[in-house]
Amino acid sequence: MNLHNAISEDVRLGQNVRLSKFINLYGCEVGDESKIGAFVEIQKNAIIGKYCKISSHSFICEGVVIEDNVFIGHGVMFINDTFPRATTAGGGLQTEADWKVEPTFIKKGASIGSGATILSSITIGENAIVGAGSVVTKDVPANAIVAGNPARVLRYVRDAEESSTPNGVPFLDLVAPHIELERELIEAFRKSLRTAAFVGGAVVEEFEGAFADFSNVAHSIAVSSGTDALRFAIMACGVQPGDVVVTVPNTFIATTEAISQAHGIPEFIDIDEHTYNMSPVMLQHFLEKRCVRDKMGKLITLRNGRPVAAIVPVHLYGQMADMDAILDLADQYGLTVIEDACQAHGAEYFSRKLNRWMKAGSMGRAAAFSFYPGKNLGACGEGGAVTTNDPDLAKMVRMLRDHGQVKKYYHDMEGYNGRLDAIQAGILHAKLPHLQTWNAQRRERAAEYRQLFGTNTDLELPFEPSWSKAVYHLFVVRSKDREGLMNHLKEAGIGAAIHYPIPLHLQRAYTVLNYNIGDFPVAEAVSNEIISLPMFPQLTTKQQISVVEETMAFVPSRKCAEVEGIASTPVAMTVRDLSHSPKTYQL
pLDDT in tens, 15-50: 999 999 999 999 999 999 999 999 999 999 999 999
Q: Does residue 257 fall inside a structural domain?
A: yes
Q: Does residue 179 fall inside a structural domain?
A: no
Using pLDDT thresholds of 50, 70 and 90, give the confidence band for residue 158: low
Which pLDDT score, from 0 to 100, does residue 303 have?
Answer: 95
Q: Does residue 473 fall inside a structural domain?
A: yes
Both 296 and 416 in one domain: the answer is yes
Both 259 and 131 in one domain: the answer is no
Which pLDDT score, from 0 to 100, does residue 40 have?
Answer: 96
**Do β-strands 475-478 and 530-533 pair in parallel, antiparallel, or remain unpaired?**
antiparallel
pLDDT at 571 over 60: no
DSSP state, residue 47? E
Looking at the structure of the chain, the number of domains it has is 3
pLDDT at 560 over 60: no
Both 287 and 250 in one domain: the answer is yes
Using pLDDT thresholds of 50, 70 and 90, give the confidence band for residue 165: very low
Q: Does residue 176 fall inside a structural domain?
A: no
Which pLDDT score, from 0 to 100, does residue 407 have?
Answer: 87
CB atoms within 10 A of CB 111: 20
Both 510 and 383 in one domain: the answer is no
Rg (CA), the chain: 29
Question: How many whole angstroms separate alpha carbon 107 and alpha carbon 304?
Answer: 67
DSSP state, residue 502? S
Whether the model pTM is above 0.75: no
Q: What are all long-range contacts of 199-208, with beta carbons under 8 Å and residues at least 24 apart? A: 199/419, 199/421, 199/422, 200/402, 200/419, 200/422, 201/422, 203/422, 203/425, 203/426, 203/429, 204/419, 204/420, 204/422, 204/425, 206/425, 206/429, 207/425, 207/426, 207/428, 207/429, 207/432, 208/385, 208/425
Q: What is the mean pLDDT of residues 63-73?
A: 95
291-342 pLDDT, tens digit per residue, is 999 999 999 999 999 999 999 999 999 999 999 999 999 999 999 999 999 9
Strand order through the sheet with 348-351: 356-359, 348-351, 468-469
400-441 pLDDT, tens digit per residue, is 999 999 889 999 999 999 999 999 999 999 999 999 999 999
The domain that contains 111 carries what CATH number? 2.160.10.10
CA angle centred on 259, ends 258 and 265, rounded to 5°: 155
The domain that contains 328 carries what CATH number? 3.40.640.10
Using pLDDT thresholds of 50, 70 and 90, give the confidence band for residue 557: low
Give the percent of the chain with pLDDT over 70. Answer: 92
Q: Does residue 138 fall inside a structural domain?
A: yes
Q: Does residue 581 fall inside a structural domain?
A: no
Among the candidates 430, 459, 478, a domain finishes at 430
b/e burial code for range 508-528 (CB count within 10 A of at least 16 → b) = eebeebebeeebbebbbebbe
Q: What does the mean pLDDT of the chain come to?
A: 91
CB atoms within 10 A of CB 480: 13
Among the candidates 117, 141, 164, a domain finishes at 164
The domain that contains 511 carries what CATH number? 3.90.1150.10
pLDDT at 168 over 50: yes
Both 423 and 449 in one domain: the answer is no
Both 394 and 261 in one domain: the answer is yes
| Domain ranges, residue 398 | 199-430
Both 375 and 235 in one domain: the answer is yes
Using pLDDT thresholds of 50, 70 and 90, give the confidence band for residue 5: confident
Question: How many whole angstroms separate alpha carbon 108 and alpha carbon 279?
Answer: 55
Both 473 and 387 in one domain: the answer is no
What phi and psi values does residue 478 have, to the nearest 5 degrees? -120, 135
**Do β-strands 584-585 and 573-574 pair in parallel, antiparallel, or remain unpaired?**
antiparallel
For 87, counting Cβ atoms within 10 Å of its Cβ (0-12 exposed, 13-18 middle, 19+ buried), the class is exposed
Both 372 and 485 in one domain: the answer is no
pLDDT at 12 over 70: yes
Q: What is the mean pLDDT of residues 98-127?
A: 93
Q: Does residue 331 fall inside a structural domain?
A: yes
Both 477 and 414 in one domain: the answer is no
Q: Does residue 172 fall inside a structural domain?
A: no
Both 467 and 509 in one domain: the answer is yes
Which pLDDT score, from 0 to 100, does residue 308 have?
Answer: 98
446-473 pLDDT, tens digit per residue, is 999 999 999 867 899 999 999 999 999 9
SS3 501: coil
Both 411 and 361 in one domain: the answer is yes
pLDDT at 481 over 60: yes
Which pLDDT score, from 0 to 100, does residue 160 have?
Answer: 34
Which pLDDT score, from 0 to 100, does residue 532 have?
Answer: 98
Give the percent of the chain with pLDDT over 90. Answer: 81
pLDDT at 392 over 50: yes
pLDDT at 88 over 90: no
Using pLDDT thresholds of 50, 70 and 90, give the confidence band for residue 2: low
Among the candidates 430, 465, 493, a domain finishes at 430
240-280 pLDDT, tens digit per residue, is 999 999 999 999 999 999 999 999 999 999 999 999 999 99
